[in-house]
Each structure stands twice: as structure tokens, then as C-alpha cells.
């Protein structure tokens, strides 16, 4: 495993982080129901592989992901991991900007000081812990002053409830603004071979502030793991059924991309996933690869991407082959 400091903090995080969106279940992930025992096994496997960084959020299964982690992190596991969750999205019906309705809940986005503090208290209770290593603003919102939001976050750092702050679903200008009122350790943003535009625009600002760029969606919810995955269908509500990769002509272009990737998987003796992950890691020097794990085998395979040294020529080849299938904005 390789490690990196999270921004200007002393938090030493594994370059591969364990994303727990999937274990929240619900209609977003219609083919999964996970128990505490399975999460414990995943955490133990992560520890064995050197993965020490976990990401979750209150809205992942509307509390389910955090509650499962809280139960699974007992028996000495909590101290082995950096635990990251988020604030701003809640379903308390206490106001805020409407974000979405799902599984019988109305989720609102609220970055007021009061809401952010309540989010932290709720997460600490659900995960049965006294502190959070990183708290990420899930969706940056301009309805409340950044000074107010960051003021609440910095106060909780001083109180020992959180150790570092991050931003997600933000823009480079947001990072500049938040940095006026404190230190941002990382930005967590969507980035992939099929949707690289946002990241490419963000990299210079992340570099300027020495912030880790934590990527989510590098494998596009599985669509870059194997050619036959592109031809799957998904029930209504499943996040994968909302993505453009299942529709022509993009689906056909992704199949052409796999044809380019196939000989490269032989050259590097790796899976399609590893090839895509190695390409992703090569795009920015301070990048963290956030990957959802629901099976130990997937976790083990993901770690193999760290052993691949992709040549500049092959990286350019993949970038060019992906262009006909790329989109600028995704609704996830």
C-alpha cells in the first residue's frame, strides 16, 4: 500500500480509500443487502491490505451505511482507520434547499452552522465514536456564507470532534473561498476516463492549496470493469440506470474503448479495472482513489493497480480512445 498526507494535516491515509456508498443499499443499489458481519469482514480485509481510510455519508442509505460502520468498527477496529463522513445533506425536515426524494425521505442541503453541527452530532451517534477524522461538506451550497459554514467546522476541530475538513461536489472557486477561513485537506470530486473534464479543471487549484484530490466514480459504478457490464439493465431508481453509458451511441463507443484496453490488459497482466485505476492515478500527483467495495476479491484486485506503471504513451492512447464516449456532466 502507498500512503499520502491529507493536505497540510498529519493524517497519513492510504492512497486507496474504502467507499461505503454501496453498503447503504436502498433503491440506489437495488441488488445489495449487507449485514454487520459482512462489513466486519470487509474492514478486516482492508486492514490486512493496508487500507486505513474509510469514507461514508449520512445519506448513504439514509443512515444505514453509518450505522453498519458503527457496529462493525467495534472490538478495536475504530483506531485502525481514518473515518471520513459528510455534512450538509439531511432528512430532518428542518429546512434547507430541496435536494431529492428517495425511499420515502426528503433530503435537503443545508450548510448553516446549526445544521452542520447537528449533522456531526448525528454521525457521531450513528457511528458510536467520539471523533471524525475528516468531515466533508457533501454539496457546497451558496445559500449560507462560507464564513459561517467554515466557522462551525473550525470550531469543531478545536473541540476535537473532527480533525480535518474537506469539500465535495464543489468547484475550484469554492476551494479558494473556503481556504480564506481555514484549511481544506481534500476535495472529493467525480472524475473518470469517461468524465474527466471537472477534474482537469480542478487540478491546478487543488495543487495550489496542497489539497488531496479524492476521486469518486473512477470505474463509473462498474461500467469500466468489463465489456458485458455495459449491456446490463437496471430497475427504476438504481443509480446505474440513470447514467448515459447504457444508451447508444455512447454504449457502442465504450465497447470500442474496451477493444483498445484489451491488449493493454495483456501487456500489463491486469484487469480492466486495474488499467483504468492506474490511468486515473497517473493524472494528478496528489490523488486518492475512492473505491466502493462490497466484496473482498474486488478490494484485493483494486490494490494491484498500485503495482502498474502505465507508460505515457499508453495513458495517452486510453485518453484518446475514450474521447468519443466522454460526457461533460453526470447526474449521480
Q: Is 56 left (phi over 0), alpha (psi -120 to 50) or beta?
A: beta
Strand partners, 61: none
Q: What is the CA radius of gyration of the chain?
A: 19
Distance CA 136, CA 145 (A): 16
Q: Where are the alpha helices (DSSP H) in the chain?
A: 36-49, 64-72, 113-127, 146-159, 172-178, 197-208, 250-267, 272-281, 296-303, 312-322
Assign 147 to helix, strand or coil. helix
C-alpha separations of 277 from 129, 149, 177, 287, 328 in Å: 32, 34, 31, 11, 20
Indicate which residues carry an active-site annotation: 60
Q: Find the helix or strand (DSSP H, E) in which 165 lies.
A: strand 162-168
Cell digits of residue 263: 491488449
Instruction: Report the relative pairing of strands 132-137 and 162-168 from DSSP bridges.
Output: parallel
Strands 162-168 and 53-55 turn out to be unpaired
Length of the chain: 332
Please check whether residue 107 is in contact with residue 166, taking contact to mean a CB–CB distance below 8 angstroms. Answer: no
Residue reference for cell 483494486: 302
Q: For residue 233, how many other CB atoms are within 10 A of its CB?
A: 8
* Residue 81, CA distances (Å) to 39, 55, 108, 133, 305 in order: 14, 10, 29, 9, 21
Amino acid at each position: 500500500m502507498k500512503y499520502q498526507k491529507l493536505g497540510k494535516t498529519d493524517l497519513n491515509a492510504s492512497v486507496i480509500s474504502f467507499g461505503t456508498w454501496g453498503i447503504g443499499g436502498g433503491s440506489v443499489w437495488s441488488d445489495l443487502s449487507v449485514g454487520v458481519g459482512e462489513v466486519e469482514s470487509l474492514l478486516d480485509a482492508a486492514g490486512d491490505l493496508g487500507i486505513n481510510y474509510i469514507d461514508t455519508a449520512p445519506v448513504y442509505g439514509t443512515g444505514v451505511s453509518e450505522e453498519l460502520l458503527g457496529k462493525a468498527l467495534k472490538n478495536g477496529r475504530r483506531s485502525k482507520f481514518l473515518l471520513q463522513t459528510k455534512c450538509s445533506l439531511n432528512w430532518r425536515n428542518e429546512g434547507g434547499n430541496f435536494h431529492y426524494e428517495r425511499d420515502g425521505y426528503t433530503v435537503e442541503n443545508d450548510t448553516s452552522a446549526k445544521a452542520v453541527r447537528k449533522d456531526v452530532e448525528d454521525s457521531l451517534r450513528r457511528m458510536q465514536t467520539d471523533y471524525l477524522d475528516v468531515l466533508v461538506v457533501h454539496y457546497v451550497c451558496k445559500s449560507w456564507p462560507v464564513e459561517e459554514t467554515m466557522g462551525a467546522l473550525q470550531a469543531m476541530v478545536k473541540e476535537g470532534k473532527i480533525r480535518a475538513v474537506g469539500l465535495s461536489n464543489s468547484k475550484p472557486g469554492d476551494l479558494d473561498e473556503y481556504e480564506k477561513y481555514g484549511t481544506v485537506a481534500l476535495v472529493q470530486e467525480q472524475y473518470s476516463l469517461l468524465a474527466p473534464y471537472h477534474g482537469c479543471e480542478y487540478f491546478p487549484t487543488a495543487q495550489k492549496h496542497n489539497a488531496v484530490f479524492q476521486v469518486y466514480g473512477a470505474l463509473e459504478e462498474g461500467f469500466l470493469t468489463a465489456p458485458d457490464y455495459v449491456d446490463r439493465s437496471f430497475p427504476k431508481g438504481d443509480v446505474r440506470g440513470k447514467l448515459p453509458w447504457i444508451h447508444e451511441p455512447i454504449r457502442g463507443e465504450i465497447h470500442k474503448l474496451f477493444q483498445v484496453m484489451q491488449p493493454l490488459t495483456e501487456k500489463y497482466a491486469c484487469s480492466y479495472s486495474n488499467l483504468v485505476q492506474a490511468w486515473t492515478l497517473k493524472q494528478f500527483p496528489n490523488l486518492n482513489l475512492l473505491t466502493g467495495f462490497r466484496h473482498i476479491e474486488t478490494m484485493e484486485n483494486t490494490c494491484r493497480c498500485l503495482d502498474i506503471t502505465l507508460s505515457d504513451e499508453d495513458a495517452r492512447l486510453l485518453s484518446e480512445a475514450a474521447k468519443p464516449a466522454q460526457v461533460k456532466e453526470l447526474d449521480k
